[in-house]
Amino acid sequence: MSDCFTTHEVTNQPPVLEDYDPVATDAVLLESLKRWNADWAKADIDRLGKRTGSREIAEWTEQANRYTPELHTHDRFGHRIDEVRFHPAYHALMDLAVSHGVHNYAWVHEGRDGAQLARLALSYLFYQGEQGVGCPIAMTFAGIPALERQPEIAAEWKPRLLSGTYDRRFIPAAEKRGATMGMAMTEKQGGSDVRANSTRATPIGKGGPGGEYLLRGHKWFCSAPMSDMFLTLAYTDNGLSCFMAPRFRPDGSRNSIRIQRLKEKLGNRSNASSEIEYADCWARMVGEEGRGVPTIIEMVHNTRLECAMGSAALIRKSTVLAMHHASHRSAFQKRLIDQPLMQTVLADLALESEAATLLVMRLGHAFDMAANSKEERAFARIATAIGKYWTCKRCPTVLAEALECHGGGGYVEEGPMARLYREAPLNGIWEGSGNVICLDVLRAMYKTPETIDILMAELNEARGASGLYDRRLDDLGAMLAQGSAEITARRMVETMALLLQAGLLLRFSPAAVSDAFIASRLGGDWGYALGTLPQKSDFGAIIGRAWPQT
């Protein structure tokens, strides 16, 4: 007799994608590591990849996002404590990132060819597992060059920040085995316009670079408020300056960084983002007085690369999940991945993923070369902004289409797609929204005109491989010769981004990929939505390269 409570069997459902290898299945990543001299780090990259593709990390990620951070402003006796408490899964993820060098790999191996790219690859893999923890990890990595503007402060803090040990304790950094760094720049009246800030810094003694100050003011957005120290901006009598503000004063007492509230965010929920108040917060000046923006921009330049990488990682993970689902789900007597209409959608996702990842890896190589090449330094300056703008713009579109590939199952919180979709817009906002980034590209063009020559030299590396590419490259040259108005900046930056991606695909990717990308993105043989590639595209080759487990 059948069980009267059994109404059906569960069939035609894909297995959970877990315990897979995100390195071995990513041809673009593997080729980039070898091409740009970072394959010496492959053993370390493999180790982290196997972890981020595991069931254990997926469970930690789910828990860290379900049981979100909690703010405790006072203890039970009424003392002000300003502490954020996290689920153990958050700390496990932080420990995973720190112990695998996601925050320090480039600096520990500084001077070795490919060190920046290797660290970027680690972050790219970690971000495919969990995104919220990536924020404090990225800031800890990115802040080192800015901190080095003040050597005596760097000498004290770098050993703590570059430690391979995660120490969750809320105690003075001098007593910890490792430390993390945050950043607090924006205020509610200015946002990206940091010169509209109102926070003031009063010197203790003579002040000046390395000197002590008291900060008074309010920061509307401070991410990762449990970091051990922050780089922040405040005005002195000589202008907007950069400061290092630790959570504890030198005498061991808690610094007066008051956490007003935690943000209720669309995504990135495992990470605590806060609104803070400086109530005579003790700090030290970093860099030249009145030159706070040029000082902290060292950090921003690195975090913008991280934004581009984070979007590429989200695009990659969502593409993999869509292909995995389509490989195991059947409809109308055929697997989804074998159906022509689904193939064109998946192939379009794969093109976006390959183009985004390849561009980000090229940027990582530029960061590696920048120390010894003014051309690569200039290329990194403008191309990071271009790449940040475009990959972040494409990310929500790709995530929406990848989610739709799952049908209703993609829209429920039990699976990963809803969380990934909520995460998709973040990198486009963090470290400068689209308009701010486009203005930054214009600024780079006008302040250092040779930057355009260097960008065009990069694009000309692919000249002759495609007539259509050559024509669009000529169009860009004509556009630049006419000068660029602010009102057309988005179109110009978009064109630059597409040509950068297309040029890299022509040079380094199979013809099936570059041909379909150029015909659709540059040639206009494309619709207004993903899944409208030219009929002549080699869908099987494109999909098989992106996800060999089909």
Query: Do the domain assignments include residue 494?
Result: yes
Strands 200-204 and 257-262: unpaired
Query: Do the domain assignments include residue 256?
Result: yes
Is the CB of residue 215 less than 8 Å from the CB of residue 203?
no
Start-to-end C-alpha separation, the chain = 40
Query: Do the domain assignments include residue 12?
Result: no
For the segment 33-49, what is each residue's pLDDT rounded down to a tens digit?
999 999 999 999 999 99
Query: Do the domain assignments include residue 46?
Result: yes
Query: Do the domain assignments include residue 253?
Result: yes
Give every CB contact of residue 157 below 8 A, 6+ residues apart in sequence: 147, 173, 179, 181, 229, 244
Q: What is the CATH number of the domain that holds 427?
A: 1.20.140.10
Q: Are residues 301 and 267 in the same domain?
A: no
8-state DSSP, 287: S
Q: Are residues 420 and 536 in the same domain?
A: yes
Q: Are residues 323 and 396 in the same domain?
A: yes
Percent of the chain with pLDDT strictly greater than 90: 92
Q: What is the pLDDT of residue 5?
A: 67
Q: Are residues 100 and 188 in the same domain?
A: no
331 backbone dihedrals φ, ψ, rounded to 5°: -150, 140
Q: Are residues 138 and 209 in the same domain?
A: no
- Collapse the DSSP code of 80 into the 3-class scheme (helix H, G, I; strand E, B; otherwise coil) and give the result: strand
Q: What is the CATH number of the domain that holds 196?
A: 2.40.110.20
Query: Do the domain assignments include residue 5?
Result: no
- Which of 126, 158, 190 is at the close of a domain? 158
User: H or E element: which one contains 31?
Assistant: helix 27-35
Best CA proximity match to 398, nearest among 456, 455, 346, 466: 346
Mean pLDDT, rounded, for 189-200 = 87
- Collapse the DSSP code of 346 into the 3-class scheme (helix H, G, I; strand E, B; otherwise coil) and give the result: helix
Percent of the chain with pLDDT strictly greater than 70: 99
Domain count, the chain: 3
Best CA proximity match to 364, nearest among 399, 313, 319: 313
Q: Are residues 116 and 200 in the same domain?
A: no
Q: Are residues 367 and 442 in the same domain?
A: yes
**pLDDT of 153 strictly over 80:** yes
Q: What is the pLDDT of residue 193?
A: 83
Print the domain residue range for 89: 27-158
> With b meaning 16 or more CB within 10 Å and e meaning fewer, what string describes 460-484?
eebeebbeebeebbeebeeebeeeb
Q: What is the pLDDT of residue 59?
A: 97
Mean pLDDT, rounded, for 73-89 = 97
Mean pLDDT, rounded, for 111-128 = 97
Tokens 């991280």, located at residue: 306
Q: Are residues 283 and 300 in the same domain?
A: no
Query: Do the domain assignments include residue 173?
Result: no
Is the CB of residue 196 less than 8 Å from the CB of residue 189?
yes
Q: Are residues 393 and 504 in the same domain?
A: yes
Q: Are residues 533 and 398 in the same domain?
A: yes
**Average pLDDT for the chain:** 95
Q: Are residues 268 and 370 in the same domain?
A: no
Q: Are residues 79 and 38 in the same domain?
A: yes
Mean pLDDT, rounded, for 204-214 = 96
CB atoms within 10 A of CB 54: 16
Query: Do the domain assignments include residue 9?
Result: no
CA 19 to chain centre: 24
> Which range, of 76-90, 162-176, 476-490, averages the lowest pLDDT?
476-490
- What is the rounded CA–CA span in Å between residue 471 and residue 459? 12
- Which of 258, 289, 320 is at the close of a domain? 289
Q: Residue 377 burial by CB count (10 A; 0-12/13-18/19+): exposed, middle or buried?
A: middle
- Collapse the DSSP code of 449 into the 3-class scheme (helix H, G, I; strand E, B; otherwise coil) and give the result: coil
Q: Per the structure block, which two tokens stand in for 432? A: 């400068």
Strands 239-246 and 212-223: unpaired
Helices (H) and strands (E) in the chain, counts: 20, 11
CB atoms within 10 A of CB 550: 16
For the segment 518-539, what is each residue's pLDDT rounded down to a tens digit?
999 999 999 999 999 999 999 9
For the segment 222-267, what is each residue's pLDDT rounded down to a tens digit?
999 999 999 999 999 999 999 999 999 999 999 999 999 999 999 9
- Which of 271, 289, 307 is at the close of a domain? 289
Best CA proximity match to 163, nearest among 184, 143, 147, 140: 140
Tokens 């990115």, located at residue: 142
